[in-house]
């Protein structure tokens, strides 16, 4: 079921019943949640799917169960968002423009993490032509989303594009219909100057729950995979720019995400 090409066959589509986007968003919106992320070799995904409960469901839209994502991340000139993640600060944020290529939907999204470790995601629908840009409405939206972090107004932050991230995502509805998991393959990161990284033998699996670990976490633990501190933005940027600190992701940057000699 899994190949390392840009368009792998749908993961879990033959094993799990489909679930619509409306039902998924109604039963497990999880805009405030606990995230656990795992780096999993592509060739282990089959075993992961077999280990999940049979009543797991897979997101299906128009007969498709794998969807292309394209994101552009924004940061300040001093990379405040990157460094807050690299240093593991308890209060941190990420800002991105995200395009869902198969539906054409485009959003401006802000993710924040507060003192209790929960992730809060807020999103603003925008026109497809606004992908990768910030206008006045977008800056006002960012101001509101970041208010609790006590940052300067978005216009003073001088936000600019710093990283592009593309991948193929399969979304699962797990654990009595209240938890989610995403499996991202065909990963690609690129910088504005054209440097890029495509770790084709690697996937990123993320569980998203409102509380304790769920069935996909337990299945991964049985496969001897443990949560790790990976972020598509901060880890991808560190992998591509050797001027940035990467100690937090040393094992990843010298292993599955190696794009430069060990430091």
* Domain of residue 136, CATH code: 2.40.320.10
Residues 6+ apart with CB under 8 A from 162: 73, 74, 75, 79, 82, 191, 192, 237
Q: Which domain holds residue 179?
A: 17-253
- Please tell me the predicted confidence (pLDDT) of residue 2: 34
pTM for the complete prediction?
A: 0.86
Closest among 228, 245, 221 to 48, alpha carbons compared? 221
Closest among 5, 62, 49, 70 to 220, alpha carbons compared? 49
Mean per-residue pLDDT pooled into runs of 10, the chain (263 residues): 41 81 75 81 92 91 92 97 85 93 94 72 94 96 88 92 97 78 95 94 89 87 92 93 85 78 40
Token output for 17: 């019943």
Q: Is residue 203 part of a domain?
A: yes
Q: Is residue 136 part of a domain?
A: yes
- Please tell me the predicted confidence (pLDDT) of residue 155: 92
Number of compact structural domains in the chain: 1
Q: Is residue 182 part of a domain?
A: yes
- Please tell me the predicted confidence (pLDDT) of residue 1: 37
**99 φ/ψ angles, rounded to the nearest 5 degrees:** -120, 130
Q: Is residue 260 part of a domain?
A: no
Q: Is residue 6 part of a domain?
A: no
- Please tell me the predicted confidence (pLDDT) of residue 178: 64
- Please tell me the predicted confidence (pLDDT) of residue 199: 92
- Please tell me the predicted confidence (pLDDT) of residue 29: 62
Q: Is residue 9 part of a domain?
A: no
- Please tell me the predicted confidence (pLDDT) of residue 247: 81
Distance CA 131, CA 108 (A): 8
- Please tell me the predicted confidence (pLDDT) of residue 34: 78
Q: Is residue 258 part of a domain?
A: no
- Please tell me the predicted confidence (pLDDT) of residue 176: 67
Q: Is residue 262 part of a domain?
A: no
- Please tell me the predicted confidence (pLDDT) of residue 6: 43
Distance CA 80, CA 159 (A): 10
Spell out a b/e string for 57-84, using b for 16 or more CB atoms within 10 Å of the CB, else e: bbbbbeeebbbbbbbbbbbbeebbbbbb
Distances in Å between the Cα of 202 and the Cα atoms of 51, 69, 251, 263 are 19, 17, 14, 21
């Amino acid at each position: 079921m899994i190949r390392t090409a840009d368009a792998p066959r749908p993961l879990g589509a033959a094993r799990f019943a489909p679930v619509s986007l409306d039902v998924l968003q109604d039963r497990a919106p999880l805009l405030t949640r606990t995230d656990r992320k795992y780096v999993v070799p592509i060739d282990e995904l089959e075993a992961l799917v077999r280990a999940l409960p049979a009543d797991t469901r897979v997101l299906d839209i128009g007969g498709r169960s794998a969807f292309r994502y394209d994101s552009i991340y924004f940061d300040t000139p001093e990379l405040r968002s990157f460094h807050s993640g690299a240093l593991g600060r308890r209060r941190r944020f990420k800002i991105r423009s995200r395009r869902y290529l198969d539906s054409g939907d485009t959003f401006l999204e802000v993710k924040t993490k507060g003192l209790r470790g929960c992730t809060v995601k807020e999103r603003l629908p925008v026109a497809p032509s606004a992908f990768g840009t910030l206008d006045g409405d977008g800056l006002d939206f960012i101001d509101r989303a970041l208010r609790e972090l006590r940052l300067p107004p978005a216009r003073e932050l001088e936000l600019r594009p710093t990283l592009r991230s593309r991948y193929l995502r399969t979304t699962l509805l797990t654990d009595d219909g209240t938890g989610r998991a995403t499996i991202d393959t065909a990963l690609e990161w690129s910088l504005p100057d054209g440097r890029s990284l495509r770790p084709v033998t690697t996937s990123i699996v993320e569980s998203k729950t409102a509380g304790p670990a769920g069935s996909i976490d337990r299945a991964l633990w049985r496969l001897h995979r443990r949560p790790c501190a990976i972020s598509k933005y901060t880890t991808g940027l560190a992998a591509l720019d050797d001027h940035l600190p990467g100690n937090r992701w040393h094992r990843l940057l010298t292993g599955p995400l190696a794009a430069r000699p060990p430091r």
